[in-house]
Chains A and B, each alone.
Chain A
Amino acid sequence: MTDTTPTPESQSLRDWLLTDTPTSRRHAKFASFYKGWLRLRSNHMAMFGFAILIGLLFVAAFAPWLAPHDPYYQELSNRLLPIWSEGHVFGTDSLGRDILSRLIYGSRITLYIVTLVAMIAPVAGLLVGTIAGYAGGWTDVILMRITDIFLAFPKLVLALAFVAALGAGIENAVLAISLTAWPPYARLARAETLTIRSSDFISAIKLQGAGPIRIITRHIWPLCISSLIIRVTLDMAGIILTAAGLGFLGLGAQPPSPEWGAMISEGRRFILDHWWVATVPGLAIFTVSLAFNLLGDGLRDVLDPKDEKS
C-alpha cells in the first residue's frame, strides 16, 4: 500500500498498531492512541508547535547545563551589553545578568505556571460544568450564576484583586489565574453535558441501573475532556500572558526571579535605548504562546469526536 519498504519488525509493529481487530484491551488503547498520533503528525503546523514545546521542556529540564551563566550573577561593569556580544548572545540586562541564561531558567517558571493552572482550572470547570449540566434544575441555576459572577469580571482585574489579597508571589499568581480561568471551562463542560445527557447511549446505561456518579465520571467526562484539552491548549497563551502581565505589574514572580513577564517589566525602562532587554523575553512569550495555539488547533482535529465517524 505504501511505497516505502520498512524493515519487517517496524512493519509488523505498525500493522499491529493499525489493525482494525485488536486482541486485548491494551492493544485497543494503543491502537487508537497511535491513530490519533498519526493524525496529529500529518498536521505540520501542529507538529511545529509540538516541537517547540518539546524544546521548551528540554530547555527547562537541562537548564543548569544549557545556561552559559548564572542567571542571578550580577556584573555591573557589563550592564546592558547589546545583543550578539561576546559571551552574551542575547546581551545583558540593567544589572549585567546574562539574558539568555535568565530566559532558560525562566522557562522553568513558565512551565510551572502553565502546568499548575492547567491542572486546577479545567478540573474545577469540568466538575462544576458537568454537575450543573447533568443535575439541571436548581443546582444548575446556582452553579451557573456563580460562574457568571466570575465571568463578569475582567480577568486581569480579578487576578489582581486576588493577588492583592493573598500577597504577591508565583503560587498566588497561579491560584489567582486559575480562579479567573475556570468559568469558561465550566460553561463549555455544561454545554457538552447538555447534549450528551440526552443521547441514547446515556439512556442505555441508565437502563442498566447506573447512578449519576458513574454516568458523569465514566460516560460524560471522557467526552468532555477532549474539548477541554483543546480549549486549555488554546488558552495556554492567554495564561502565559496573564502570568507575564502579573509579573510585569510586579504582582507575580518577584525579582530577582527570571520570570519572563517580570523581565519585560524590568526592561521597559530602557526600551528606547536598549530595546533587546524587553524584546527578547517578549519574543520567548510570543513563541511559546504560538506553539500552544498551533498544537491546540491540531489537537482539535484529532480529538474532536464529531469527526470520528468518517
Chain B
Amino acid sequence: MKALSVRNLDVWFGVGRDQVDAVKRATFYVNAGASFGIVGESGSGKSTILRAVTGLIPTWSGEIEVDGRHVQHKRGREFYKLVQMVFQDPYASLHPRHSVDQVLSETLQLHGFKDIDARVRGLLDDVGLGPSFRFRYPHQLSGGQRQRVAIARALAPEPKILLLDEPTSALDVSVQAEILNLLNDLRAEHKLTFVMVSHDLSVVGHMCEEVAVMKDGEMVEVMDIETMRAMTPRHEYTKHLLEASLNYSA
C-alpha cells in the first residue's frame, strides 16, 4: 500500500517570461510506514516538493495521491488530517504571541476534537515535554523545545504522513540527536510515514530507508540506503555529493 505517490510533479513560480521551474517531472512513491528522504543542495527544489504536496504552493501540476486518493488543488480538512508538516526553523514556525497551550488547543479545535484538555497533555507527553511547558510562550523555550512543540502540533490531528522539512538543521548537534530519536520513536509508536528533506546526507542516512537526490529541480536518482552507504550510486552527481559530504566529515 502506497501512502504517498507523486507522478510527474511540476512546480513553478511566476508567470510568462519570469516563470521559474522549481521542480520538473518529479516522480516517487512512499510505502505506508516507510521513511523516504530527499536530499539536494539549496535551490534544488527539495523543500518545494513538500510545499506543493501540502498545497502551500498552489502552482503545480501532475498527480499526487495520498492514501490511495487523488489530491485536488483545493484541499479539505480531511487532507490535513492525513498529512502534516514540520518546518525547518522552529524560531519561525511558532506564533510569537501564542502560548504552547494556545497553539495545540487551536489545532485540536480546528480538527473538531472534543477532549482538548486531555489531548494537549497527551501531546506534550508524546514529544517529551512535561505539563510545565504548557503555558509557556515561544520566547521561553529553547530551539529544541520549540521544535518539539512544532512536532506536537503536527501530531495533533493524528496524521498518517509526516513531512519533515529539514527539521534539525537549525539546531545544535546534541539537540539534533534528541529530535531525531524522538521522531524515530514517534514513527514506531504511531505507525507514521515520513518524507524527510535535508541537505545533510548523514541525517537522511540515519532516518530513511530510501533516498531521492535532487539537482536543479530534477530528481536524478532514487536509491536505497545500502547503496548510499556503500557509496555506489548510479548517478555522477550523487557520487559527487556523497564524496563532498564525507570529505570534510569523518
Residue positions of B touching A, CB distance < 8 A:
51, 54, 56, 76-77, 80, 84-85, 87-89, 91-99, 101, 106-107, 110-111, 132-133, 135-137, 139-140, 150, 153, 156-157
Contacts and interface: CB of A to CB of B under 8 A. Distances in A.
The prevalent SS among residues of A at the interface is helix
Contact of A25 (B77, B99, B150): B99
Given A205-B106, A207-B80, A223-B95, 15 more contacts: A23-B132, A27-B135, A28-B137, A204-B87, A204-B94, A206-B56, A208-B106, A208-B107, A209-B76, A209-B77, A209-B110, A209-B111, A219-B95, A219-B98, A308-B96
A32 B110 contact: no
A208 B85 CA distance: 10
B89 A309 contact: no
A32 B135 CA distance: 11
Interface in A1-34: 20-25, 27-28, 32
A25 B101 contact: yes
A199 B94 CA distance: 9
B50 to A, nearest CB: 11
Contacts of B85: 203-204, 207
A234 B53 CA distance: 45
Contact of B135 (A23, A204, A222): A23
B134 to A, nearest CB: 8
B56 A24 contact: no
Contacts of A273: none
Interface in A73-130: none
A29 B99 CA distance: 9
B106 A203 contact: no
Contacts of B89: 200
Q: A20, A199, A201, A208: which has the most chain B beta carbons within 10 Å? A: A208
